[in-house]
Amino acid sequence: MALSRRTFSALAGSAALGLGLGGSGGAGAPSAFAARASVPTGPAPLPPRADGEQHTIGYDRYSLLVDGRRVVLWSGEFHPFRLPSPSLWRDILQKMRAHGYNAVSIYVAWNYHSPAPGTYDFTGVRDLDLFLRMAAETGLYVVLRPGPYINAEVDGGGFPGWLTATKGTARTDDPAYLSYVDEWLTQVDRIARRHLFTQGNGTILLYQIENEYDAHADDVTGRRYMSHLFKKVRADGIDVPLFHNDKGRNGDWVPGSFDTGGEKGGWLYGFDGYPSPTGTPPDWGTFGPGGAKGGAGASPSTPGFVPEFGGGWFDPWGGASFDGKGYGEARRTRDAAYERRFYLTNLANGLTLHNVYMTFGGTSWGWLPAPVVYTSYDYGAAIDEARNVTAKIAPMHQLGHLFQRVPDFAKLDRAEDVHAEGLKVYHLTNADTGAHVYVARNDGTDPVTSELPTDAGRLRITVPGKDARLLTTGLKLGERTLKYSTAQPVFCVTAGRQDVALFTGRTDDMAELVLKTPEEPSVTRLDPEAAWVYDEADELRVTSPLGSGGLTRVLVQKGGSDTPLVLLFGDDDTSVRLFPYDTPSGTLLVYGPALLRHAEVRGSAVHLTGDVIDTTAIEVWGPRGTDTLVWNGRTLPTRVTLAGSLMTTGLQPAVPEVRLPALGGWRMRRENPEVGPSFDDSRWQVADRRTSSSTTPVPAGGPVLFADDYGFHYGDVWYRGTFSDSTGLEEISLAYSSGTQGLLMAWLDGEPLGTHRMPVPDKNSTARRGSWSATAAFPVREALRSPGRHVLSVLVRRMQHDEDGGARDTHKAARGLVSASFKGTSPKVSWRIQGEGPADPVRGAMNNGGLFGEREGWHLPGHRTDHGWEPVSFPRAARYQGVTWYRTSFRLSVPADVDASIGLTLEDDRYRAYRAQIFLNGWNMGQYINNVGPQHTFVLPNGVLRTRGTNTLALAVLSEFTTLSGPGDVRLTLLGRTSGGLPVTSV
């Protein structure tokens, strides 16, 4: 396949070259883009959509080029598989677009879509086609990352469970492995090629192959593997630029490092970075130290690209990463000031493709999480697990809109060094426009006030501790020129027949702004906080405190321009309530609501949809002639302001209270029939295999007891070993292998022998260990020693498969029992094994494990036999080894125009050793471990949760015999609410 001229505009270095992109067509493929001397600074293209038009995607050393226009990619990571409610995907996408993102990056998890070899499911909550349509409808580019290996703190790093029991070494050019990979990519690419931005059918802009692949970067195995993936994706019709995410800046997989079949120019180098918030922001970009391990300097002819940059961090069982404080501490230590300091450093280093991992973390529900994380994947992200926009959104909003609306930032060069006492200063300039950019960074803990030399003079600025400021000089504001501003610009848009520019900073900052004006302008102070003066140097000087009274408006007319300029000043909280939105009728600017979801102009009416949390007015700058404002379907009374805006005469009310019911009416049933000697296990699989593809050695003499070898890949697994004559039996030792926090329970002839659990990981050595092995030794009481038939029953909570970050097939490490040995006698044991049943057709393979209640459907809302269960109330304090099920139902009546996010909170005496699997309407929403933590609240996403209807809640509690077990307090918790939201369809 030879790629056509329209597919890429691939430009390398400061001089643009016409590069051949051969694909299977080889070096003779036509030139992808005509040679040109340079690409000047200019306005960015409009937000992308599926417009049916052909588009080009290229690059030079500065930035991506979309249809010949420069684009700064400001992307956020969001995993649809971590939000099992497609209606809510649009909610997150709209929040991202409104707050400045122009792209969304998504992994596609192989294990999520493939329950068995040759079986693939892209329906329901796994509908990739639907997600890609939503992204296009929202106006976001898509960075697609389908692996085959993704890591992502998911089970097996995204490899399906069934791959653990196959031959072939993963992440190599092994033909057996590649046959499965090709099958997977065929399925993904069949969908992806319907949504390529190049073809006008969608907004997929970039496509990643593999992830953090450093194990074979220097050998022929790796080169053959990467070449195979590249050629496979191209053969499938994917014609957008491809890339790889280099783990930690190794200089791996730069252009030219592997065979692309003659294609030139369709490959980008990218790397990731997760610097500690206590460290100094590093210079990893184009202007950094350079070299193979210097970041973007490893590939000087391609733009600086970070496919993952730390928007937070994950937390292990026990909470070691954040001292047991959970993701709230992640958000505190990687707050808005962290984002400004680190992300502005990236900008100053020429990184113009920037993806924040994560922007919305979500929930690793069911058996999705890798061993190194618990259920919540909140990540300390800017949008929390309950879909609330946090204070961290402010720099994302401000920088995102700046990069989209002010084209100077797509083509910056390092300028002469600038020094300011106590600060690290970066100085950049745009040679096309003459604008200068200064990033002043304070790496100390105390505020620093210093004089910053600029081309517009010395500016006195204060930078808080562990924070940074962005300042500009010579920037165009529509038809006017900014001499300087001590406040950060956010955007300048033309709305109707006037320009509107926003400047922001911290609360109580004093913003000072100077405009060059060849003659004295007419200035109107529309809010009392502002002050202005015109001096003899043909300069208009405006000052305004930030945060006092919300938004401050100043109208500038004449002064050498016929276009009025409205200057807006606001602090962080104010700035995130200003939303520019492009429509076919022109750009709108909306101020006031908590979120603007959608805007359009119909005749003289502006129709807006969005969310309100607190009482607010709504103000709109838009095309001339608009005189009507419709908010969420209701026409609101308005007036025209002196700022040329349309403002409501009344206030929109705050979101009403949401009342949640107390949970009661619990019923209980104990299970574990598998421990009884007379239990019928004839339908269970006989565990008698002698060989395995696992990396765990099969014990001498066998048999293989590893759960994966018998097709049981997720959740709990039961074993029953039958033998004769326990006379003389003193002790049974059971070796098992699991993910983090694995657990084993054993019974002999129905009598409990005891429970063993893996240790809680610590911060320094085991927090990232993915596979754990141990031997549990249980003494056998005299009463259990006798001739005749005996049954050893073992329940293993296997947890999840290790990721394969080092390409060592670590995902194939055994899960479940490994071996059994006996002291005092040597019986011959016949083993049978039982795990999860067939994949749930709606919820997928990773929803259920092998508990008896799961196999019998006790977790499902349609289960009708719980009326015979024993009524109970919480708190409970029982001593019992095994599994106890609790069920109840509750009804919610959340108003239709309120988006309420609700969670389930469990709390108890922290020393009680038990864990609970949480099922809501049949959906496995996660695992609570009372004596380990740190998670106590579990998000119940709308769609799974019926906010206007009846819900069924079931808890499968595994309790040890060593302590009393609960549950203790179990309650619904309101995690957030807004007026507005979106219609939600139940899943």
Residues marked active site are found at 212, 308
Integer angstrom CA distances of residue 179 from 174, 182, 331, 588, 813: 9, 5, 42, 51, 22
Among 195, 213, 72, which residue's Cα sits nearest to residue 144? 195
**8 Å CB contact between 71 and 44:** yes
User: Which regions of 725-880 does DSSP assign to beta strands (E)?
Assistant: 731-738, 743-748, 751-757, 772-779, 789-797, 816-823, 830-834, 870-871
Rounded to the nearest 10 degrees, how much is the dihedral formed by the CA atoms of 917, 922, 925, 927? 10
Residue 824 DSSP one-character state: S
Residue 986 tokens, joined? 């139940």
SS3 327: helix
Give Cβ neighbours of residue 686 (< 8 Å, ≥ 6 apart): 830, 831, 832
Rounded to the nearest 10 degrees, how much is the dihedral formed by the CA atoms of 163, 168, 174, 175? -80
User: Which regions of 603-715 does DSSP assign to beta strands (E)?
Assistant: 605-611, 619-621, 628-631, 634-636, 638-640, 646-648, 667-670, 685-686
DSSP 547-584: BTTB-EEEEEEESS-SS-EEEEEEEHHHHTTEEEEEET
**8 Å CB contact between 108 and 145:** yes
Whole-angstrom distance, CA of residue 284 vs CA of residue 271: 9
**8 Å CB contact between 323 and 274:** no
The answer for 833, left when phi > 0, alpha when psi is -120 to 50, beta otherwise, is: beta
Whole-angstrom distance, CA of residue 254 vs CA of residue 272: 14
Element (H, E) at 541: strand 539-545
Number of CB atoms found within 10 A of residue 862's CB: 8
Whole-angstrom distance, CA of residue 874 vs CA of residue 888: 12
For 305, list phi and psi in degrees, rounded to 5.
-140, 120
Among 658, 659, 654, 572, which residue's Cα sits nearest to residue 613? 654
Whole-angstrom distance, CA of residue 227 vs CA of residue 241: 15
Whole-angstrom distance, CA of residue 648 vs CA of residue 913: 57
Whole-angstrom distance, CA of residue 308 vs CA of residue 44: 23
Residue 125 DSSP one-character state: G
Whole-angstrom distance, CA of residue 211 vs CA of residue 336: 28
Whole-angstrom distance, CA of residue 589 vs CA of residue 606: 11
- Which residues is 104 bridged to in the sheet? 76, 142
Residue 642 tokens, joined? 């002196």
DSSP 343-361: HHHHHHTTEEEEEEEEEE-
Whole-angstrom distance, CA of residue 838 vs CA of residue 599: 45
Residue bearing tokens 């099958």: 183
Residue 276 tokens, joined? 């500690």
Element (H, E) at 458: strand 457-463
Helix axes 336-348, 393-405, angle to 10 degrees: 30
**8 Å CB contact between 610 and 588:** no
Whole-angstrom distance, CA of residue 234 vs CA of residue 264: 13
Element (H, E) at 905: strand 898-907
